[in-house]
Amino acid sequence: MSQKLWEKNTQVDHEVEIFTIGKDREMDLFLAKYDILGSLAHIKMLESIGLLSGQELDLLTHELKRIYRLAEKDEFVIEEGVEDVHSQVELMLTRQLGDIGKKIHSGRSRNDQVLLDLKLFTRAELQELTELTHELFIALLTQSERYKDVLLPGYTHLQIAMPSSFGLWFGAYAESLTDDLTFLQAAYKICNRNPLGSAAGYGSSFPLNRQMTTGLLGFDSMDYNVVYAQMGRGKMERTVAFAMAGIAGTLSKLAYDACLFNSQNFGFIKLPDSFTTGSSIMPHKKNPDVFELTRAKCNKIQGLPQQITLISNNLPSGYFRDLQIIKEVFLPSFGELKDCLRMVTYMMNEIEVNKHILDDDKYACLFSVEEVNRLVLSGMPFRDAYKKVGLDIEAGKFVPEKVIHHTHEGSIGNLCNEHISVLMQNIIDSFSFEKVNEAEKKLVEQ
């Protein structure tokens, strides 16, 4: 059986049909729950403007909630011959309710329907990403405090430079995540606006109450201009992808550090044996595959904004089928990034650090700047102190003083972790997820 919302009497060529549907049925399973959620809000609005009776609203609401529960349990299926999630939901309604099921599409198009689905899906995924990023942040800041007094080499140009510490190393990545979430918050605000009612991009002659659906779905506001609502498709995904790429960039850099520091040439950190994999030929190998895969997956995610840009950047206003392809790269990317966040958090909680790295004499020159500063504090001009220490190093006479006295904000002796923690909490609090969660709960509760 074929089920398409737009089908009339003409049968589409089979090969054309296969090509144009593409992976849409597979991708739409990501959106099923949100398509039903949007329909629950839409029919309440239709009843309020007289396009549904109270009895019809009750029947449709009851059936949509039943279908929603199927989607929540991953039991929602798009049947063979059914084009997309919208067609499947309407088919299920008409099987149970007859012609009443056909009334839910009044006042909307598949264009604004999928726009809405994407926004509802994306804001839910952004909430999960925020929570997982916060969990990694806590793990990193906890380790920063635990190992704040353990020194390790700092590098520039991959050459030993100045003393650093595990407090700084862990804490740096924690603070990086605060900037990443600030960017994610901006993307969330762009996402959390209601496109429903824009129909095919030019509004409707029905007296739709767009403010009502905006409130029912917990949006901050609507996309007011109906043409812009359609123009936002691709733009929203690209903006969110850039924010995801920020988190991915932080994870990728952290993963690279971990691979480097775990190698025998460095020996700064150690992973539990159960967290590593072996070689099929070399019995001594303990490979940091989780970090290597994290690095690759996150580098892939950092390419996502460019993919979306190249699909959508030469389109004029209005809807085009090109936009369908964005779903194929965009929707699965959230699962990949969430997996990376979970695994890196797990690894960071269990990582072991080497507390005696700087006992090795090859790191003696790390303390050259400390000696220059000591001489300056005793009255020697900086250029003279710099030259003296340089000559002592070249002559093999430099004896480092390995006691560090850094006190300014953000340095080894003053990490400012408490300020970083407050910064992160302020960002988390300002998302206001509670409003959205409460609105969605009211729509689907028994």
Q: What is the pLDDT of residues 324-340, one digit of tens each?
A: 899 999 999 999 999 99
Q: Which residue has the tokens 């329907």?
A: 113
Q: Helix or strand or coil: residue 284?
A: coil
Residues 6+ apart with CB under 8 A from 53: 47
Choose the weakest-confidence range: 8-22, 193-207, 251-265: 8-22
* Positive or negative: CA dihedral 188, 193, 194, 200: negative
Which among 188, 345, 347, 340 is positioned nearest to 274, based on CA atoms?
347
Q: Does 356 participate in catalysis according to the annotation?
A: no
Q: Which residues of 353-364 are buried (b: 16+ CB within 10 A; e: fewer)?
A: bbeebbeeeebe
Supply the pLDDT for residue 1: 44
Q: Within its chain, how far is the Cα of 288 from the centroid?
A: 24
Helical axes 32-48 vs 433-444, angle rounded to 10° = 70
Reading the block at residue 83, the tokens are 């084009």
Reading the block at residue 339, the tokens are 């997996």
Catalytic residue among 14, 157, 284, 408: 157
What's 111-150+165-358+417-444's CATH class? mainly alpha
Helical axes 368-377 vs 382-394, angle rounded to 10° = 140
Higher pLDDT, 94 or 4: 94
Q: Which residue has the tokens 């004029």?
A: 316
Supply the pLDDT for residue 6: 45
Q: Which residue has the tokens 């989607």?
A: 71
Question: Using an 8 Å Cβ cutoff, are 115 and 35 in contact?
Answer: no
Cross-strand partners of 164 = 152
Higher pLDDT, 9 or 375: 375
Q: What is the mean pLDDT of the chain?
A: 92
Which among 181, 188, 233 is positioned nearest to 436, based on CA atoms?
188
Q: Tell me which H or E stretch contains 161.
A: strand 159-165
Q: Tell me which H or E stretch contains 156.
A: strand 151-156
- Residue 221, φ and ψ in degrees, nearest 5: -160, 180
Supply the pLDDT for residue 25: 73
What single-letter DSSP state applies at residue 84?
Answer: S
Q: How far apart are the C-alpha atoms of 338 and 297, rounded to whole Å? A: 11
- Residue 239, φ and ψ in degrees, nearest 5: -65, -45
Supply the pLDDT for residue 3: 52
Q: Does 39 participate in catalysis according to the annotation?
A: no
Supply the pLDDT for residue 273: 82
For domain 14-106, say whether CATH 1.10.275.10 is its number. Answer: yes
What is the dihedral angle through the alpha carbons of 438, 440, 444, 445, rounded to the nearest 10 degrees?
0
DSSP H helical ranges for 226-332: 226-231, 235-262, 289-302, 304-312, 324-330
Model pLDDT for residues 338-363, shown as the tens digit of each residue = 999 999 999 999 999 999 999 999 99
Supply the pLDDT for residue 279: 62
Higher pLDDT, 15 or 82: 82
| pLDDT beyond 60 at 439 | yes
**284 — pLDDT class (breaks 50, 70, 90):** confident
Q: How far apart are the C-alpha atoms of 17 and 363, rounded to whole Å? A: 66
Q: Helix or strand or coil: residue 160?
A: strand
First to last CA, the chain: 32
Choose the weakest-confidence range: 3-7, 194-198, 346-350: 3-7
Catalytic residue among 2, 221, 263, 279: 279
Whole-structure pTM value: 0.91
Model pLDDT for residues 21-32, shown as the tens digit of each residue = 667 677 889 999
Q: How far apart are the C-alpha atoms of 33 and 68, rounded to whole Å? A: 6
What are the sequence ranges of the domains in the chain? 14-106, 111-150+165-358+417-444, 361-415
Model pLDDT for residues 92-142, shown as the tens digit of each residue = 999 999 999 999 999 999 999 999 999 999 999 999 999 999 999 999 999
Question: Using an 8 Å Cβ cutoff, are 348 and 133 in contact?
Answer: no
Question: Using an 8 Å Cβ cutoff, are 417 and 168 in contact?
Answer: no
Q: Helix or strand or coil: residue 93?
A: helix
For every residue of 186-200, DSSP letters joined together read: HHHHHHSEE-TT-TT
Q: How far apart are the C-alpha atoms of 421 and 332, rounded to whole Å? A: 31
| pLDDT beyond 80 at 62 | yes
Q: How far apart are the C-alpha atoms of 326 and 62, rounded to whole Å? A: 33
Model pLDDT for residues 228-271, shown as the tens digit of each residue = 999 999 999 999 999 999 999 999 999 999 999 999 999 999 98
Q: Helix or strand or coil: residue 157?
A: coil
Cross-strand partners of 3 = 82
Q: How far apart are the C-alpha atoms of 412 and 416, rounded to whole Å? A: 10
Q: Helix or strand or coil: residue 297?
A: helix
Residues 6+ apart with CB under 8 A from 290: 275, 343, 344, 347
Q: Helix or strand or coil: residue 266?
A: coil
Which among 139, 126, 72 is positioned nearest to 342, based on CA atoms?
139
What is the dihedral angle through the alpha carbons of 160, 166, 171, 177, rounded to the nearest 10 degrees?
70
| pLDDT beyond 70 at 171 | yes
**278 — pLDDT class (breaks 50, 70, 90):** confident
Supply the pLDDT for residue 9: 56
